[in-house]
Structure 1
Amino acid sequence: MKSKWVILALIILMYLPVSIDATILHVAVPTLASELATKSNQLLWIIDIYSLVMAGMLLPMGALGDRVGFKKLVIIGLTIFGLASLFAALSTSAMMLIMARALLAIGAAMILPATLSGIRKTFEDEKERAMALGIWTTIGVSGAALGPLIGGYLLSHFHWGVVFLINIPLVLITIIGVMIVIPKQVENTKQQWPLGKAIFLTIAVLLIVYGLKSSLKLDGELRYSCAIGILGITLLTLFIKKELKSAAPMIDFHLFKIKALVIGTIIAMVVMVTLVGFELLVTQELQLVYHFTPLKAGIFIAPLMLSSCIGGSIAGWLSSRVSFRILATAGIGISSLCFLGLASVDFITQTYWVWGLFILLGLSLDIALLSSTSAIMSAVSSEQSSAAGAIEGIAYELGAGFGVIIFGLMISIIYSYHIDLPTGLSQPMQQEAKSSITQAFYVASQLDVTSLSEQLISAAKLAFSKAHQVILISAGSLLLLLTLFIWQSTPSKINHH
C-alpha cells in the first residue's frame, strides 16, 4: 500500500513543473521584452508555443507510452524537459527561447500521459484511483494557478532564466525516484505510434497561427501571411479527411456527431481562451501601466487563479443536483457578467471590487470547465472514453494557446488604433511606438527631449487601458452570446451513446 502512495508522490512531483510552466511566463512579458529586445509577435510565440505543440503531441506520446511503458516514457520526457529548461534559461534571443519552449512542450507531452497511465496502472481499486485522480487534477489546476505567483517572486529576486532553472532539481530527483521505485513495464511493440500524423497536425496548426499573427502586424506582408495561413488550413483539411477514412485514426472525428460532446468541447476551448488570455492581458497592464513588480502583479491576480482551484469541488457538488444545461449556462453566463463588470472598474481605486469579480470569474469559469468534462465523458460509451478524453485534452491545450493569440492580437490591434502619438517623432519611431506598448517605452527611452518622452509614455498607457476596456466588453458580449447558444442548443439530459 505504501509503495502506491510513493508512486503517486513521484507522479505529483513530475506533473507540477509541467502545469506551472503553462502560466509562469505570463508575468514575465515586460521583463522578456526588455531583456531580449523581443517584439510583441515574438512574445506571443514564446508564451503560446508551449500549449500549441503540446496539443499536437499529447496523443502520439500517449500511444508511445502504451508501446514502451510509462516508466521509460517518463524518464525520456523528464530528460527532455530538464535539458529544455536549461536551454531556455540560457537563451540569449527570442528565437532561442521559442525553440526551448517548443522542446519543453515535447517533454511535457510525454510526462502528462505517463502520469495518467501511472495512476491507472498503480491504483486498481476504483475508490483509490478516484482519490489519486482527484489529487492529480488539483495539482494540475494549482500548478497553473501558482505559476504567476512563483514567476513573480523569482523575477523580483533573480534573473528571468531562474524561472526555468527551478525545474532542473525537480527533474533530477524525479528521474532517480522513478528509476528506483517504479517497477519495469511490459512493452507492447504492436502498439502503433502515430508520430507522423502528430507532426503533420502540429505543422498545420502552427502555419495557421503564424498566418494569423503575421497578417495583423500591419507591415505590408499581407499576401505572404495569407498564403501561409491558407497552406495551414489546407493541411488541416487534408488531415481531417485522412483521419475520417483511417481504420485507426489518431483523433476520432466521428465522435463530433455527438451533440453534447461538441458543446462540451466548445465550452472547454472558450473557457481556456478567456482564462489564459485574460490573465495575459491583466499581468501586462498591471506592470506596464501601473508599474507593479512581477511579484505584486502575481499576488494581485491570485484571487482569480486560486478561486479557479476550488470551483471544481463546487461544480462536483452541483452536478449531482442540477442539469448540465443549467450548470454550463450559469458558469458561462456569470463569467460574461464578470468581464463586463471588470471593463468598468478601476483596478487601483476599486481593488476590492476587482478582487470580488476575480473570485466570481475564477469560480464560474471552473464550473463551466467541469461541466464540459461531464458533458464530454457522459455523452460517450466506456469504449470511447479514452478517445473523448484525448479530444478534451487537445481542446484544453488549443484553448490555452489560442487564448494568448486572440487576446494578444486584440491588444496589439486596439492599442495601435487608439494611440495618439505626440508630434515630433520620426516616421520609423512612430511605426515602432504604434506596434506595442513595450516598443513605445523603448522609443521613449531613446528620446533626448524629456517632455516628448513623457507624452509618448502617457499616450501608450492610455491606449493600452483603452484596449483593456474594449477587449473585456467584447469578451463579455461574446460569452453572453455563447450562454444563449448553450441554453438553446443543449438538451436538459445527456444520453449515453
Structure 2
Amino acid sequence: MRMLWARLRPWLTLFIVVLVYIPVAIDATVLHVATPTLSTRLGASSNTLLWIIDIYSLIMAGMVLPMGALGDRIGFKRLLLTGSALFGLASLAAALAPGAGWLIAARGLLAVGAAMIVPATLAAIRTLFADTGQRNIALGIWAAVGSGGAAFGPLIGGFLLEHFYWGSVFLVNVPIILVVMLLTRFLVPVQQGRPGQPVNLRHALMLIAAILLIIYSLKTLLKGTQPLGVTLPALAVGALLLWRFIRTQLSLARPMIDIRLFGHRVIFCGIMMAMVAMITLVGFELMMAQELQFVHGFTPLAAGAFMLPVMLASGISGPVAGVLVSRCGLRRVAAGGMLLSGLSFAGLSATDFASQPYQAWALMALLGFSVASALLASTAAIMAAAPPEKASAAGAIETMAYELGAGLGVALFGLLLSRSFTAAIILPDGLAAPLSRQAASSIGEAMALAGQLDAQTGQHLAQAARHAFSLSHSLALGAASVLLLGLALAVWFALARSRRSEGAF
C-alpha cells in the first residue's frame, strides 16, 4: 500500500498544482475580449485599458525571481499555500473593483500571488518526478495548461461577459483556490527548504521598477504621446536600475537569484523561446479580439469561439510535445515548433477571416500546437539544465520569461497596430483636428466617434477604420512570422552542439 501511495503521490500533486495553475494562466488573457465592456463600465481610456491588461504580466515577471528564491527558502508547499491565499483575496478584490485604478491595483496583487504559485508548481514537478521521462510528461501537462489556459482565456471571458457581470471573470477563481488550499494542506508533501537562502524585497522592487519604467518608456516613445525630455530620462533610469540589479546579484555571495543561470546556453535558448512564443501568442489573441469585434461585428463570446482552434491545439499539444522531446530531442522540437509557428503566422497574414474561415481555423490550430510545443521545449530545457537544489529559481526564470513575453506581446503588438493603423486610415473630409486625432489613434476610438457623427460621415469613418485595421493586422502578423522564423534558425544552430542530457536534448 505504501509503495502504491508513493507512486501515486507525485501524480496527485501534479493534479493539484495543475488545478491552481489554471486560473493563473487564464488571468493573463481573460480580459482580452473585455476591453469594450471595461471601457464602458469603468470609464477607462485606451491607455488605461492596456495597463489593466498588462500590469498582471509585468508585475509577475518582476516578482517571480524573489518568489522563486523564497520557494527555495521555505519549500514549495508553503509557497503554494501563501500564493494561493493571496491570489484568492486579490481575485475577490478585482471582482468588486469600483473603478479602473482599483482594478489595476487588484491585478497587481493577483500578479504577486501568481508569482508565488508558478515557481512552486514547477519546483514540485522538478522535485517529485525523478524519472526524466515521467518529468517530461508532467512538464508537458503543465505546459499544456499554461498555453491552453492563456488560449482559452478569451473564450471564458467572452462567455462570462455575455451571461454575467464583468467581475465574474475574477470571482470564478475563488472556489478553485479554496479547493486547492484544502488539497495542498493534506495531500502535498512538505519539502525541506534552505533557511539560508536570501530573499531581498528591495532588490525585487528594483527589478519591478526597472521593468515598468522600460515598458512605459518604450510605449510612450513609440506612440509619441510624451516629449523626449520625459521619455528618454525614464528609459535611462529603468535601464540603470536593471543594470544595478544584475550587478548586485552577481556580486553577492548568496544572491536572491542565480543570474549565472542565464549564462547557460540551453537555459538562455529556453528563455528566448518562451519570451518570443508568448509575445506572438498573446499579441495575436489581443489583435484577433479587436479584429473580430470591431471589424467583423462579433460578440465577445463569438470572438472567443472563433479562436477555439488555437485553444484546443494548445491544450492537446503539451503531452504530445513532452513525449517528442524525450524521443526526438530538444533541438528538433524547439526549432520545429518555432518554424511551424512562423509559417502559420505567414499564412494568417494573408488570410481573410470573413471569407476564408476554414483556412484561418486550420492555420490557428497549427499555431496553437506549434507554440505550445515550443513552450514545452523551453520549459524542459530550463528545468533539465538546472540543478535540483535550484529548481524554484529555475522555475522563476522560466515564469519570468513567460510573463515578460506576455507583457511585451500586449505592448509591442498594441503599439505596432496603433502606429500602422494611424498611418493607414484615410479619414473623411471635414473632420475637425481634435476629432481627426481621436479617430486616427485606434480602431476603438474611431468606432466610438463614428457612432457620434452623422450617418454618412460615421459610415465612411467606420469603413475606413475597418480597412485600416485589416491592413495593420496583416503587417503585425507578417512581422511576427519573420521574428519566429529567425528564432527557429537561431535555436537550431545554438543547440547544434548540445548533447543529450537526461534524455532532454
Q: TM-score, with normalisation over the residues of structure 2?
A: 0.89
Residues 386-425 of structure 1: pairs in structure 2 closer than 5 A: 387-425=393-431
> How has the CA–CA distance of structure 1 residues 489 and 465 changed in structure 2, closer, same or farther, with 3 Å as cutoff?
same
Within the candidate set 367, 372, 377, 2:373 is matched to 367
Distance 1:122 1:491 in 2: 30
> How has the CA–CA distance of structure 1 residues 451 and 347 changed in structure 2, closer, same or farther, with 3 Å as cutoff?
same
Residues 60-209 of structure 1: pairs in structure 2 closer than 5 A: 60-117=66-123, 135-179=141-185, 189-209=195-215
The aligned residue for residue 444 of structure 1 is 450
The question of 1:472 aligning with 2:477 is answered yes
- Letter matched to residue 405 of structure 2: G
The aligned residue for residue 213 of structure 1 is 219
C-alpha displacement of 1:71: 4.7
C-alpha displacement of 1:349: 0.9
C-alpha displacement of 1:357: 0.6
The aligned residue for residue 19 of structure 2 is 13
The aligned residue for residue 272 of structure 2 is 266
The aligned residue for residue 426 of structure 1 is 432
Residues 272-291 of structure 1: pairs in structure 2 closer than 5 A: 272-291=278-297
Distance 1:58 1:326 in 2: 29
> How has the CA–CA distance of structure 1 residues 478 and 171 changed in structure 2, closer, same or farther, with 3 Å as cutoff?
closer
C-alpha displacement of 1:183: 7.4
> How has the CA–CA distance of structure 1 residues 170 and 379 changed in structure 2, closer, same or farther, with 3 Å as cutoff?
closer
RCO comparison, higher one (Cα < 8 Å, 6+)? 2
> How has the CA–CA distance of structure 1 residues 431 and 487 changed in structure 2, closer, same or farther, with 3 Å as cutoff?
same
- Letter matched to residue 227 of structure 1: P
The aligned residue for residue 485 of structure 1 is 490
- Letter matched to residue 467 of structure 1: S
Distance 1:146 1:102 in 2: 21
Q: Is the 8 A contact 1:261 1:375 kept in 2?
A: yes
Q: In the TM superposition, what whole-angstrom CA distance separates every residue of 1:179-236 from its partner, at most 9, and x where no partner exists? A: 5656788776444222222111111001101111122333343321221111101110
Residues 245-394 of structure 1: pairs in structure 2 closer than 5 A: 245-379=251-385, 387-394=393-400
Q: Is the 8 A contact 2:126 2:391 kept in 1?
A: no
5+ residue gaps in structure 1?
none
The aligned residue for residue 462 of structure 2 is 457
C-alpha displacement of 1:277: 0.9
> How has the CA–CA distance of structure 1 residues 475 and 16 changed in structure 2, closer, same or farther, with 3 Å as cutoff?
closer
The question of 1:52 aligning with 2:58 is answered yes
Q: In the TM superposition, what whole-angstrom CA distance separates every residue of 1:144-186 from its partner, at most 9, and x where no partner exists? A: 2322221111111122111111112223344445456567887
Q: In the TM superposition, what whole-angstrom CA distance separates every residue of 1:344-381 from its partner, at most 9, and x where no partner exists? A: 11101110001111111112222222333344345555
Q: Is the 8 A contact 1:40 1:435 kept in 2?
A: no
- Letter matched to residue 282 of structure 2: V
- Letter matched to residue 147 of structure 1: G
C-alpha displacement of 1:321: 4.5
Percent identity over the alignment? 50
Partner of 2:403, secondary structure, is helix
Q: In the TM superposition, what whole-angstrom CA distance separates every residue of 1:459-492 from its partner, at most 9, and x where no partner exists? A: 1111111110111111112222223333444315
- Letter matched to residue 468 of structure 1: H
Partner of 2:225, secondary structure, is coil
Q: Is the 8 A contact 1:378 1:495 kept in 2?
A: no
Partner of 2:489, secondary structure, is helix
- Letter matched to residue 372 of structure 1: S
> How has the CA–CA distance of structure 1 residues 114 and 332 changed in structure 2, closer, same or farther, with 3 Å as cutoff?
closer
> How has the CA–CA distance of structure 1 residues 309 and 300 changed in structure 2, closer, same or farther, with 3 Å as cutoff?
same
Q: Is the 8 A contact 1:380 1:496 kept in 2?
A: no
Within the candidate set 238, 242, 252, 1:236 is matched to 242
Which stretch of the first structure deviates more once superposed, 4-13 or 281-290?
Answer: 4-13
Equivalenced residue count is: 496
Which stretch of the first structure deviates more once superposed, 393-402 or 114-123?
Answer: 114-123
The aligned residue for residue 38 of structure 1 is 44
C-alpha displacement of 1:320: 4.2
Distance 1:371 1:7 in 2: 22
C-alpha displacement of 1:69: 4.8
Name the Cα RMSD after superposition. 2.9
Partner of 1:463, secondary structure, is helix
- Letter matched to residue 194 of structure 1: N
Q: TM-score, with normalisation over the residues of structure 1?
A: 0.90
Which stretch of the first structure deviates more once superposed, 174-183 or 449-458?
Answer: 174-183
Q: In the TM superposition, what whole-angstrom CA distance separates every residue of 1:15-52 from its partner, at most 9, and x where no partner exists? A: 22112212211221232233333233222211121111
> How has the CA–CA distance of structure 1 residues 89 and 53 changed in structure 2, closer, same or farther, with 3 Å as cutoff?
same
> How has the CA–CA distance of structure 1 residues 362 and 428 changed in structure 2, closer, same or farther, with 3 Å as cutoff?
same
Which stretch of the first structure deviates more once superposed, 164-173 or 450-459?
Answer: 164-173
Which stretch of the first structure deviates more once superposed, 240-249 or 353-362?
Answer: 240-249
Q: Is the 8 A contact 1:123 1:129 kept in 2?
A: yes
Which stretch of the first structure deviates more once superposed, 291-300 or 107-116?
Answer: 107-116
Q: Is the 8 A contact 2:136 2:380 kept in 1?
A: no
> How has the CA–CA distance of structure 1 residues 205 and 124 changed in structure 2, closer, same or farther, with 3 Å as cutoff?
same
Q: Is the 8 A contact 2:140 2:322 kept in 1?
A: no
The question of 1:494 aligning with 2:499 is answered yes
